[in-house]
Chains A and B, each alone.
Chain A
């Protein structure tokens, strides 16, 4: 048996989906206000949070992401009027099955960040990275074939 040693250098890989109108602009504001968050958060721009297919989230986990966060406009503020309501419904459905799939629920999150909330964006990301770091590496769903390529 191999002894498990705590890897202090563990840096989680976080995929963040941000809607173009609120959260991506919020991330830009965090940038222009120089509010830092860890470099392992990588943002993917989508037109609306409702563009995010639950498959994308599962795929990210399969590819080795340790956490996936989905950011959209505040309820009622969606640029497309009701997209984020659909996101909310779809994601609560997806999250309810995550444990069954072997992924801790805490590895995913939906956050509403407006274009004016640079500080919130940075705070959310810092908090999320902290949570994921505490949870450790996502080993369960990762595709072993992806790993062997390294």
Chain B
């Protein structure tokens, strides 16, 4: 039998003016289990709280009901008060008689009657409360960043700066990501490498940051504060600790026909290679598909020439187990495959290229050493036509329904750079809309038109075909209602971007929800843009949605601050109002695990009974550190085994009873 104390607040006149608090006190005092009831002017004040503390001790109360303002306002306050008096903080119920009673009703009798009913309901609920203790778990003071692009780099640097260890796992042989492939960045036209490589070097030199390049996340176990991750280090066939990045091996490798992915396959590289000059780590890697020694056993030239003996053809994939407190996903993007867009002739014409390919063609470290030459015959293109929205905003099934966000700006950048470097070049841009929301973005685009004389044509290209060695770009000009054909030397497609395909695998390993376009879903579109529904997992960069570099950097820093906030805690206090399963009733049907948005429910085989009667059954187990207490599983459970602490079915049914009691 509980001993309940009821405390009714006047809230000055906020409650007392429309609710007869004396009457309420009298009525509630008569309720079963209630051993004390009183009212006071301001319950939340120092004196009010002291009153509660005194009465808890004096009457040896097992639970209290406070009839006052919304629980969203002061539930926490009164829980602390109860705790200070030695009561379990979850033996507190609030009856909301201000926002949901005194403030909205004018008639005193009516409001008083409602206040009594709300008070009774709260008392009835409290009789079924059980003391709850928030579970505590330790926090591993280390973060994992998946993806070593600008998002991952920025995030890792920020976390390391706060004094925590960070590991970056990058599947390619070097960090740097897509940004390292860019020539210049809008809207200031900074050289991309000039602003990125110092950050890459910082990562390599930081004592707190450990780089796992050419590695992948193999397995993730555990939960917030205590993730256990298996990392697969792919065989490089080069000893990272010995290689100095001198490049002698590359010069001597006889197998030179590998496509250079860093240069968007526009030129070739040897079988042993360093992706680019500023690669971090500056260590060679052997492509096993291309290496003669690895394929046939005959060659070994690089091993002979290597001055430090770094080449090791016997290297195998390695697995490393690491523990983390938090994980940031920053897996980035890739341009979409253009095979569905044969109207632009991308597959048939070497001179129809994507914007990222143009980026390499204009870069000083690219295949043409920064001189803009068209791929087919290495001639200077005189007429260049850009086509925007290639695959973006396309619901026909060929492309992507969303706006890729960055194309308008990089197209303006390319057009401007070309006109700057080669003023005799004619540049046309076919556009549907020019979208330039961002600081100094529209000014940038207008500069392309007004200062550099780029010809923007409102309309879309219907087809690109070859005629007399020219690429004929046929499109509409909607403003003068004509169809135009532009004989061009080079056609650049502003290709839509999509999340890197590796994201699906990462999402399923971390139970992050993924949308129809393969973007990872944040916990709240507006208020939790970098958090995931899965506690302890954060998002940065394009894996969450299309973003340009400035936005990616801001999001990465935001994710880092969330990680730092998490790692700064010694113990994580859970919310004890979580689901729990009655294993005697559970049938192990897995319905609950299917609806759980957090992956908090797992199944265990448990033995019931003893000796000859022992049976093994599969039952649901809720991890209280992961469960957020939404209650979806409680309703789904067909046997009624699942229930929620703090909002149990019996409590809610009791509340219904008392509200409906006439």
Give A residues with C-beta under 8 Å from B.
13, 15, 20, 24-25, 27-28, 30-32, 34-37, 39, 42-48, 50-56, 59-60, 63-65, 76-77, 79-83, 86, 90, 122, 146, 150
Highest count of chain A CB atoms <10 Å: which of B114, B525, B660: B660
B residues within 8 A CB of A25? 72
Q: Is the CB of A51 within 8 A of B634?
A: yes
Give Cα A122–Cα B623 distance, bound, in whole angstroms. Answer: 39
Q: Is the CB of B632 within 8 A of A48?
A: yes
Q: Is the CB of A32 within 8 A of B103?
A: yes
Nearest residue in A to B94 (C-beta to C-beta)?
A: A45
Nearest residue in A to B655 (C-beta to C-beta)?
A: A44
Q: Is the CB of B656 within 8 A of A27?
A: no
Give Cα A60–Cα B654 distance, bound, in whole angstroms. Answer: 10
The one of B106, B521, B577, B653 that contacts A47, using a Cβ cutoff of 8 Å: B577
A71 CB, min distance to chain B CBs, angstroms: 13
B residues within 8 A CB of A64? 660, 662
The one of A35, A54, A63 that contacts B656, using a Cβ cutoff of 8 Å: A63
Nearest residue in B to A83 (C-beta to C-beta)?
A: B630
Q: Is the CB of B656 within 8 A of A15?
A: yes
B residues within 8 A CB of A34? 103-104
Q: Does B243 contact A (CB under 8 A)?
A: no
B25 CB, min distance to chain A CBs, angstroms: 19
Q: Is the CB of A44 within 8 A of B597?
A: no
Q: Is the CB of A42 within 8 A of B525?
A: no
A residues within 8 A CB of B110? 39
Contact with A along B154-186 (1 / 0, CB 8 A): 000000000000000000000000000000000
Give Cα A60–Cα B656 distance, bound, in whole angstroms. Answer: 6
Q: Is the CB of B657 within 8 A of A28?
A: no
B627 CB, min distance to chain A CBs, angstroms: 11
Q: Is the CB of A31 within 8 A of B70?
A: yes
Give Cα A45–Cα B662 distance, bound, in whole angstroms. Answer: 21
Q: Is the CB of B660 within 8 A of A39?
A: no
Give Cα A65–Cα B657 distance, bound, in whole angstroms. Answer: 10
B residues within 8 A CB of A30? 99, 104
Contact with A along B603-638 (1 / 0, CB 8 A): 000000000000000000000000011111011100
Give Cα A31–Cα B98 distance, bound, in whole angstroms. Answer: 7
Q: Is the CB of A42 within 8 A of B644?
A: no
The one of A47, A55, A82, A150 that contacts B631, using a Cβ cutoff of 8 Å: A47
Nearest residue in A to B630 (C-beta to C-beta)?
A: A80
The one of A28, A47, A59, A82 that contacts B70, using a Cβ cutoff of 8 Å: A28
Q: Is the CB of B524 within 8 A of A79?
A: yes
The one of A15, A42, A52 that contacts B118, using a Cβ cutoff of 8 Å: A42
Contact with A along B84-128 (1 / 0, CB 8 A): 000000000000101111011111001101100110010000000
Q: Does B533 contact A (CB under 8 A)?
A: yes
A residues within 8 A CB of B513? 81-82
Give B residues with C-beta under 8 Å from A.
70-73, 96, 98-101, 103-107, 110-111, 113-114, 117-118, 121, 513, 521, 523-525, 533, 577, 595, 597, 628-632, 634-636, 644, 646-647, 649, 652-653, 655-657, 659-662
Q: List 18 A-B contacts (CB under 8 A).
A: A39-B105, A42-B117, A42-B659, A43-B100, A46-B631, A46-B647, A46-B652, A48-B631, A50-B630, A50-B631, A53-B649, A55-B649, A65-B659, A77-B525, A80-B597, A83-B631, A86-B636, A146-B660
Known: A51-B644, A65-B660, A82-B513. 10 other contacts (CB 8 A): A24-B70, A32-B99, A32-B103, A47-B631, A51-B632, A56-B652, A63-B657, A81-B523, A82-B632, A83-B631
Q: Is the CB of A47 within 8 A of B629?
A: yes
B residues within 8 A CB of A24? 70, 72
The one of A50, A60, A83, A122 that contacts B660, using a Cβ cutoff of 8 Å: A60
A residues within 8 A CB of B533? 80-81
B residues within 8 A CB of A54? 635
Instruction: Return the 5 tightest CB-CB contacts between A and B, nearest first.
Output: A31-B99, A51-B631, A63-B660, A80-B630, A48-B630
Give Cα A24–Cα B69 distance, bound, in whole angstroms. Answer: 13
Given contacts A31-B100, A53-B635, A59-B656, whether A47 and B630 have CB atoms under 8 Å apart is yes
Nearest residue in B to A118 (C-beta to C-beta)?
A: B99
A residues within 8 A CB of B524? 77, 79, 81
B residues within 8 A CB of A27? 99-100
B635 CB, min distance to chain A CBs, angstroms: 5
Give Cα A51–Cα B659 distance, bound, in whole angstroms. Answer: 18
B residues within 8 A CB of A44? 121, 652, 655-656, 659
Give Cα A63–Cα B597 distance, bound, in whole angstroms. Answer: 33
A residues within 8 A CB of B121? 42, 44
Dominant secondary structure of chain A at its interface with chain B: mixed
The one of B111, B597, B655, B657 that contacts A82, using a Cβ cutoff of 8 Å: B597
B residues within 8 A CB of A86? 595, 632, 635-636
A residues within 8 A CB of B629? 47
Nearest residue in B to A37 (C-beta to C-beta)?
A: B104
Give Cα A93–Cα B456 distance, bound, in whole angstroms. Answer: 54
Q: Is the CB of A31 within 8 A of B103?
A: yes
Q: Is the CB of A31 within 8 A of B644?
A: no
Highest count of chain B CB atoms <10 Å: which of A13, A47, A76, A150: A47
Highest count of chain A CB atoms <10 Å: which of B70, B101, B649: B70
Q: Is the CB of B118 within 8 A of A80?
A: no
Give Cα A64–Cα B659 distance, bound, in whole angstroms. Answer: 10
Q: Is the CB of B634 within 8 A of A39?
A: no
A residues within 8 A CB of B103? 31-32, 34
Give Cα A47–Cα B254 distance, bound, in whole angstroms. Answer: 66
Given contacts A28-B70, A77-B524, whether A56 and B656 have CB atoms under 8 Å apart is yes
A residues within 8 A CB of B647? 46-47, 51
The one of B105, B525, B636, B659 that contacts A76, using a Cβ cutoff of 8 Å: B525
A residues within 8 A CB of B118? 42
B residues within 8 A CB of A81? 513, 521, 523-524, 533, 597
A residues within 8 A CB of B73? 28
B residues within 8 A CB of A28? 70, 72-73, 96, 99-100
B residues within 8 A CB of A65? 656, 659-660
Highest count of chain B CB atoms <10 Å: which of A30, A31, A65, A82: A31
Give Cα A43–Cα B72 distance, bound, in whole angstroms. Answer: 14
Highest count of chain B CB atoms <10 Å: which of A39, A53, A60, A79: A39
Nearest residue in B to A14 (C-beta to C-beta)?
A: B659
The one of B105, B525, B653, B656 that contacts A36, using a Cβ cutoff of 8 Å: B105
The one of B96, B113, B595, B628 that contacts A39, using a Cβ cutoff of 8 Å: B113
B residues within 8 A CB of A83? 597, 630-632
Q: Is the CB of A39 within 8 A of B70?
A: no
B residues within 8 A CB of A32? 99, 103
A residues within 8 A CB of B656? 15, 44, 56, 59-60, 63, 65
A66 CB, min distance to chain B CBs, angstroms: 10
A84 CB, min distance to chain B CBs, angstroms: 10
Give Cα A45–Cα B525 distance, bound, in whole angstroms. Answer: 24
A residues within 8 A CB of B98? 31
Give Cα A59–Cα B651 distance, bound, in whole angstroms. Answer: 13
The one of A36, A80, A90 that contacts B628, using a Cβ cutoff of 8 Å: A80
B202 CB, min distance to chain A CBs, angstroms: 35
Highest count of chain B CB atoms <10 Å: which of A37, A80, A81, A150: A81
